[in-house]
Structure 1
Amino acid sequence: MSTSGQKRIESTIDTAIDCDEDEVMELAMQAGELLLENGAEIFRVEETMDRICRHYGVESASQFILMNYILATAGEGHGHVFAKVRHIPVNGSHLDKVAAVNQLSREIAEGKYTVSEAYQALETIRRMPDKRKSVLILASGVASGAFCCLFGGNLMDCLAAAIAGFLIYVYILYISGPHLSKIVGNVGGGAFVTLVCNLLYMLGLGDHLNFMIIGSMMPLVPGVAFTVAIRDAADGDYISGTVRMIDALLVFICIAIGVGMGMAVLKLLTGGADL
């Protein structure tokens, strides 16, 4: 290691010892908030906050994390005590931000950041742009076609599922997300997928309606949330794991209701004829 690099690490360690406890706790809470609102597991949030606090010399820090709440305290009860509760709205899964915060916490533990520099790095991560809508729509179509193939559909089925996958993500981005509640949006998404696939099937594009519908509804399925729920439960965070699991199961049920409603409407419009 160069002399300048060694001096920088020593300076950072000295600063860590002298830094303000409230600033450190606020930094840890912001890091935890950024992780939690982007779909991180409970153990990852706790580990990251603890790593930051320990590096900057706040040994009395304690955190209690739920799916959308953070309670953080610090102090031994003699004099000033830090205590703060923050509600965290969950904005879906943005794993690139989760990975960036996780890496930042490790670099903080290595002595590469002062508190003020860590604040600036967190803000940079917070402002990371989301994927472009065109990329999301394209990915949805490709994934829908691929899942249709995985479930046993032929080439024409995959093409139809890809078209439906493009359209369902347009619905998610421009109708369901901005204007509808989670339940109504997922019921509407299931019905929309069913109607589009049936229309394509009646036009002769696709041979197996069931594979087309199953493949094209996959962009609606909360796979990451379901996986994180299992991970939380496996790590002993039963409350958050159960809440996440119920939330994911509710989405599954809403999608199924939407598909049933779509089939019922089509049967009514076609006079009860089987498609």
Structure 2
Amino acid sequence: MKEKKMLKEKERTEIHVQDTSDKMSKVLEFAMEASRVLLCNGAEIFRVEETVEHICRRFDIKGVDTFVLSNGIFITAHDGTKEVFARVKHVPMRGINLGIVTEVNNLSREISSGKVDLDEAWMILKKIEKMPPNNNWFRIIASGVGSATFAYLLGANFWECMLTVLSGMLLFAGVIFAEKHNISKILVNLLGGAFITILALIYCNIGLPFVLRQDKLLVGSILPLVPGVAFTNSIRDIARSDFLSGTVKMIDALLVFVYIAIGVGTVLAGFDGLRGGMLQ
């Protein structure tokens, strides 16, 4: 009888341990997926780490350690026994979608408050990840308006702002084309800088009946290529002592500025050389 009792207790313990292991595995898998969606859509490092902690705390997962880099996530947890659970995910750096980041943050809050269980959370997360981006025409028009606004803030006149709208729209149409065909970011920024410079030179040299300043046209039109959110996030990461991730993001943003400058400088140098040759 004693042996049977001990066997039953052992079986119960094993079942409990197995259930706990399965639960931890599922929770960590979901936490990893939610953090991946956040990171690849431009969320800050601290936000990704906090999301993992909130999700694990809601489902009573303790002993959780999270280490997040700009392109990688490492999560470990233990259940009080010798067994350790670990998840590692490589996250390639890509564009920014703050709409998806906001939705995942809202989902994390609902999980923390107990409004959503794990199965429902999985379904919602899959829907969030499949959220379509804004309509391309909306993005193109917004790019043109943003470019003109920036040019106006820098002292552009009415006609310069109008031409900047056109340049910004044409530039972002090219960016969307590049996104669809997976063209290298280096090439996009080099050609984008060159394209905007060519347009500015055309505007200033075709004899339009109003005053145009090349620098205002250039600075305003280049706005769609500027990685403002990425640069700001890198500063926020560094301010929170995430030096490695912040430095990587900052270098990535600074390199974009370099690519744009090379594109602009190459066209301007070529134009000056050509004009000098024609004058001679």
1:92-126 deviations in whole A, cap 9, x for unaligned? 11111111111111110100111111101101110
- Gap change, CA 1:236 and 1:177, over 3 Å in 2: farther
Query: Pick from 113, 117, 127: which aligns with 2:116?
Result: 113
Q: What CA distance in whole angstroms lies between the structure 2 residues aligned with 1:153 and 1:120?
A: 49
Counterpart position of 1:46:
49
Pairing 1:121-136 to 2, within 5 Å after superposition: 121-136=124-139
SS in 1 for 2:162: helix
SS in 1 for 2:53: helix
- Gap change, CA 1:219 and 1:177, over 3 Å in 2: farther
TM-superposed CA distance for 1:167, in Å, is 0.8
With structure 1 as the length reference, what TM-score do the two structures score?
A: 0.89
Counterpart position of 1:220:
225
> Are positions 1:64 and 2:67 aligned together?
yes
Counterpart position of 2:83:
80
Counterpart position of 1:258:
263
Q: What CA distance in whole angstroms lies between the structure 2 residues aligned with 1:121 and 1:92?
A: 22
Amino acid aligned to 1:125: I
- Gap change, CA 1:189 and 1:32, over 3 Å in 2: same
SS in 1 for 2:181: helix
> Are positions 1:145 and 2:148 aligned together?
yes
Long gaps (5+) in structure 1: 1-16
Pairing 1:160-199 to 2, within 5 Å after superposition: 160-175=163-178, 178-199=181-202
Amino acid aligned to 1:243: V
SS in 2 for 1:53: helix
Query: Pick from 86, 103, 107: which aligns with 2:106?
Result: 103
Counterpart position of 1:270:
275
The answer as to whether partners of 2:164 and 2:217 remain within 8 angstroms in 1 is yes
1:124-178 deviations in whole A, cap 9, x for unaligned? 1101110111111111111111111111110011111111101111111113662
- Gap change, CA 1:201 and 1:268, over 3 Å in 2: same
Q: Greater Rg, structure 1 or structure 2?
A: 2
Long gaps (5+) in structure 2: 1-19
Amino acid aligned to 2:62: E
Counterpart position of 2:214:
209
- Gap change, CA 1:229 and 1:112, over 3 Å in 2: same
1:73-94 deviations in whole A, cap 9, x for unaligned? 1115734321121101222111
The answer as to whether partners of 2:41 and 2:100 remain within 8 angstroms in 1 is yes
Amino acid aligned to 2:81: H
1:22-78 deviations in whole A, cap 9, x for unaligned? 000011001100100000000000001100000001012211000010001111573
- Aligned CA RMSD, in angstroms, stands at 1.9
SS in 2 for 1:20: helix
Amino acid aligned to 1:236: S
Amino acid aligned to 2:143: S
Over the matched positions of the two proteins, sequence identity in percent amounts to: 43
With structure 2 as the length reference, what TM-score do the two structures score?
A: 0.87
The answer as to whether partners of 2:43 and 2:101 remain within 8 angstroms in 1 is yes
